[in-house]
Amino acid sequence: MLAVDGPLPDDDGHGYEWKWDGFRGCARVADTGEARITSRSGSDHTHRYPELRDVFGAALGGHAAVLDGEVVALNAAGRPEFELMQRRAMHEPTAKLRAEVPVVYFAFDLLRIGSEPLLDRPYEQRRELLAELLRPADGRLVVPPFYTRADLSPDQLLATAREHGIEGVVAKRLDAPYLPGARSPLWTKRALTQTREVVLGGWRTGAGRRAGTLGALLLGGYDDDGSLVYLGDVGTGFTDDALDHLRDVLTPLARAASPFATEVPRERARGAHWIEPALVGEVVYRRVTPDRRLRHTAWRGLRPDRTPDEVRAP
């Protein structure tokens, strides 16, 4: 279930959670304790997080269950940091990398216990059942708190998020069912930075220190007709490690012509290396122009937990 963007409702009918900066994942846990973590598109990502495989069984006390949550990497202050998740996404999860960048599963919803689906239960009840059922044995599995207006107002929560570097706040109707695959106004999110998922359609060679390597990525998203629309480019925010990784993953996707259905401005298309639109990334941006171009963009990283057909043009 996905949230819509908007101002946070301020009433007694909503619960409020922090918006975690990681990779969304459902954990499907058998009564044997065997667990599988799948992305929003249903892809199996269990192999990316081997340190999480054995944390669910003991915490669930032998119950089979389906959890919704976020896989996050915590910084030294104990807060989720997307850039650390990118290190995990760019490399195989070796023992050294797992020690340097451990991940944690934040479980924030309970969708099933044993053979009983909970999708039609109210959010407040699912949250209470989650807190009763899940007994994490160590810090690899966390049930983060949720609040009501009696605890803190939405404005206070946003101010706290801003102070502590948390991505934002999500408001969820206390009586809301869980609607799989739906982006519903029953959930409303307010992020403190504007981010957008984008499809990579090409790249341009850099200049100066980045001569001979990647200078900018050409970005797109799908419109209501299913056409890939050009949304602009991004040329900042890359680490050296990210540039090396992008070169490795972009090279095999080369194609002769632009994948975009709309025209790419001549100065952007000149010398472009076109690629198959098979990769999803994420950028920070300041605004969207009337012609649907992202302005003042910076690269955040690849999103292996997303598929291109999920990415919509603004």
Nearest to 271, CA basis, from 227, 224, 232, 218? 218
Nearest to 75, CA basis, from 167, 172, 180? 167
Q: Could you give the CA distance from residue 90 to residue 71 in angstroms, rounded to a whole number?
A: 15
Nearest to 144, CA basis, from 41, 18, 241, 282? 18
Q: Could you give the CA distance from residue 18 to residue 161 in angstroms, rounded to a whole number?
A: 8
Q: Across the beta sheet with 168-173, what order do the strands follow?
A: 2-5, 183-191, 168-173, 14-19
Catalytic residues: 19
Nearest to 58, CA basis, from 132, 115, 134? 134
Residue the block writes with tokens 């925010």: 237
Contact between 307 and 221 (Cβ < 8 Å): no
